[in-house]
Chain A
Amino acid sequence: MKINYRQLSIITFMSFIALKFLALPSLLYIESKNMSMFVSLILMIIDGLYAFVILDLMKKSGEKNIYEFMKNCLGTVATKIVLILLIIKYALVAGNISKGLEFFVVENLYTEFDWFVFVLPLMILVGFMVYKGIRNIARVSEMVCWAIVIGLIYIALKALSGMDILSYLPFLKDGFKPLVDSAWIHLSWFGSATFMFMLFGFVDFREEKKSKMIKYIIFAILIVELLYFVFYGLFEVTSPTHNYCISDISQFSSTYSAIDELSWLVVSMWIVAQAVQLALYSYCLAQAIKFLFDIKNNTLPIIIVVLYIFAWSFIGENTVRMERIFFTPFASIVTFVAQYILPILLEIVYAIKNKKKRAKDRIERVKDEREKNRDKKEINVNI
């Protein structure tokens, strides 16, 4: 059940834009003000570069899954520790998406409705997609991807006329420090390539085209930046009060009664994207749990993940509480280690091990040749 390189590129694209259009832009504005879009730009470029590091590791792992690969490189204990770290990262992202979806749906689409009614079908959908595996998620992503892209571009272009470009001036008024602070505080919203770890052994590299992946990542960055550019240009200093970037840009909200016939279709597509992303990170979470506890079947990890999503319905009743959970230094550290330290560490360890292995092989080869030569000499002497 492998996915092809194009499907991997699309999943990566979706993962890069997944968490970016709800509360993140308004949160970034608190520290980095009108330069917020540069924070996301820098972090997304770094994410893009790391995606290629992880891809390189994925290729090196061959048919091995992440657990086998890491066990070879780091040993069992270290692997289990890393898996715990990844579980935390995936759980945070899945929880973030689930919570974002909840707030967005309940506040934008329904005036009076209980989330518990919605979470059940969402659990069924996510459970089903995770059960069917990564190929299923990849294929659904393939189908919905372009509708989402067109929708996002439509929203951004439509709102362009209402924005004030002068709001971006003065440029870097407070220097780079607010940007760095903001990047660190909101790091857990990034690290978009960490999902790739759980895809080790599941990607068919036969039709690999690096240019394709590069194009998709650049495209994702451009779309995010375009929407941020419009968002900050539209709302300026009031940006932190707008929790739902995508709906607020399109002026779509039942509570505002400012209605655009096509925008709600676009926003609907965004919900689809969030659901697919929730399935992707739930899949990663289930896989990591499976590896950590050495569970043979898929059902138990899926049940755990689905119940975990359900559990999120009980906590974080308001945005402030959710922010506290996600923007603790702990979450940033987890993301930093999982996305930025782990791939480099694995590359180094793999290179060292490989070097040692190659040296060992060379020694054995030399030994073999010497033995063969000795045998030949002995035979000649006997003759």
Chain B
Amino acid sequence: MKVDAVKTLYEIKKKLHDSGDLKSRTVQFFGTQITLCYIAPITDNELLNNTLIYPLINFSDEIKDEDVVKVLMDKVLANQEVTAFSDLKSAVDKMLAGNTLILADKAEQILGCDMEKITVRAVSEPPTSVVIKGPREGFTESLKFNLALIRKRVKSDDFVVKMLELGEKTKTQIAVVYYDSIADKTVVKKILKRLNSIKIDGVVDSHYLVSYLERNKHSLFKQVGDTEKPDILVAKMLEGRVGILVDGSPIALTLPFILLEDLQNSDDYYTHPIRVTFVRALRLIGVILAVLLPGVYIALELYHYKILPTEFLITIMNSTQGIPFSPFIEILFIILLFEILYEANIRMPQYFGMAMSIVGALILGETAVSAGLVSPPAVMIVALSGITFYIIPGQASQFSILRLLGVIIGASLGLFGILLFCVFILSYLSNFDSYKSAYLAPTAPYIEEDQKDSYMRKTIDEMKRRPKSIANNKRNTVRRGSYED
């Protein structure tokens, strides 16, 4: 193609529907008209001035009958990434991603210089994974910056970044990251295949990809891991997982995912193992309490009250006397109230938060009890269950649904129903294998080697092999050898 600066600029403007943020600047370069065109909000002005406009205007070397494009590329442009385009479409696509196009009259190609302005919010500690010890850096919304945060921790030629572009309208950059010698090749292939097959108009956040990557799309349970912290992502990659980062999202997805992951916390690896084992046991108890406590309470109150110790039974009977609702309605009412308060609280401006807590927890709860609408044990049971949810924040939304089911089953079938419900959940999750990893591993199937970092944790130097629970390269399982004192 032969470039006509004026005509091509007109075509670009037409293509972008005369978009207001499309800017251009024309300069004369040894008798050739050169038009620079760019999208102003995503272009780094300083970079544009220093590496493009200034060198063009101040170029003083003599040029003979050389090709303008060649001269520009070899002698003028001080930019590190310059691309030559033979068609207008790909040039415009690049311009929309932050390139400045150089339209030189009579040139054979259009040149594009990367001038992308990286707007990044300051690195902060992610609110979903606050730690007492350990790194506090969290991902931001910029893919380039997030990759830099990972690269800072990974200085290995084994680390691979595969770039993809998804979304017909958003052209979102996706990075698939993994260790070539650690990740399972078939898992990587499967993930890339699934991502490449996605047909979607836009990818606004990494969670848009989740349903495409899940094996059981309609399941309540989480099947794709996520993290907002680069140290966690790197640790997961070292175990053989694959990370997926999306431009515009501070959350990285990780695959394969097993249930145990949510029981672990990055803090665990920076704290004494005995403390960690204790905390993990607490988390497990927390999960059981969160899901089953209200259901069991209703079952005991409705069907098996004779099981309760006499003193305890008398206390409950005294507290529930005069309550106009059945235990089921009572618990359901408090759970719904709790869920509404929770939803309101997280979406409310921060300065309302404290007031909301006071109104919700103290005034509403206290008044409901004093008015005799609900009993104190019921409030206590739901509050305890509600608090324990957030021991494992990653699964809180799933568990709240399970709790509701537990309440319904406890009210209709009693303890026997709850037991069957538990077996059903275990049985259901036992089949949740995805990306060559069993969802309930290393418990079912039991993997002895992986018990070093499951419900209990041994010291880092004792974990000599990569977990077998995660699909990884079976030929590269040794993490660390023995050390000498």
Interface, chain A (partner B; CB < 8 A): 4, 6-7, 105, 109-110, 113, 117-118, 121-122, 124-125, 128-129, 132, 135-136, 138-140, 142-144, 254, 257, 259, 261, 264, 268, 271-272, 275-276, 279
Contacts and interface: CB of A to CB of B under 8 A. Distances in A.
Interface in B427-464: 427-428, 430-431, 438, 440, 443-446
B387 interface: no
What interface size band does chain B fall in? 20 to 34
What is the predominant secondary structure among interface residues of chain A facing chain B?
helix
Contacts of A109: 303-304, 414-416
Nearest to A276: B423
Given A109-B414, A254-B307, A143 B419 contact: no
Contact of B306 (A128, A129, A259): A259
B309 interface: yes
10 contacts: A110-B304, A113-B303, A118-B413, A128-B424, A132-B430, A135-B430, A135-B431, A142-B446, A271-B419, A276-B423
Nearest to B444: A139
A142 B444 CA distance: 6
B198 interface: no
B380 interface: no
B417 interface: yes
B417 A268 contact: no
B444 A268 contact: no
Q: Which secondary structure characterizes the binding site on chain B?
A: helix
Contact of B423 (A6, A138, A140): A140
A69 to B, nearest CB: 26
Contacts, number: 90
Contacts of B427: 125, 128-129, 132, 136, 140, 279
Contacts of B306: 254, 257, 259
Interface of B: 303-304, 306-310, 413-417, 419-424, 426-428, 430-431, 438, 440, 443-446
A271 B423 CA distance: 10
B431 A132 contact: yes
Closest 9 CB pairs of A and B: A139-B444, A139-B430, A254-B306, A142-B444, A143-B444, A136-B430, A264-B307, A121-B420, A129-B427
B367 to A, nearest CB: 33
Nearest to A136: B430
Contacts of B414: 109-110, 113
Contacts of A124: 424
A272 B438 CA distance: 22
Contacts of B424: 124-125, 128
Nearest to A253: B306
A128 to B, nearest CB: 6
A241 to B, nearest CB: 21
Nearest to B412: A117
A275 B424 CA distance: 10
Contact of B419 (A6, A128, A140, A268): A268
Contact of A140 (B307, B310, B421, B426): B426
Looking at B310, B423, B431, the one whose CB has the most chain A CB atoms below 10 A away is B423
Contacts of A264: 304, 307
A268 B309 contact: no
Contacts of A142: 443-446
Given A109-B414, A143-B426, 17 more contacts: A6-B446, A110-B303, A125-B424, A125-B427, A135-B430, A139-B440, A139-B444, A139-B445, A140-B423, A140-B427, A254-B304, A259-B307, A264-B307, A268-B415, A268-B419, A272-B419, A275-B423
Contacts of A139: 426, 430, 438, 440, 444-445
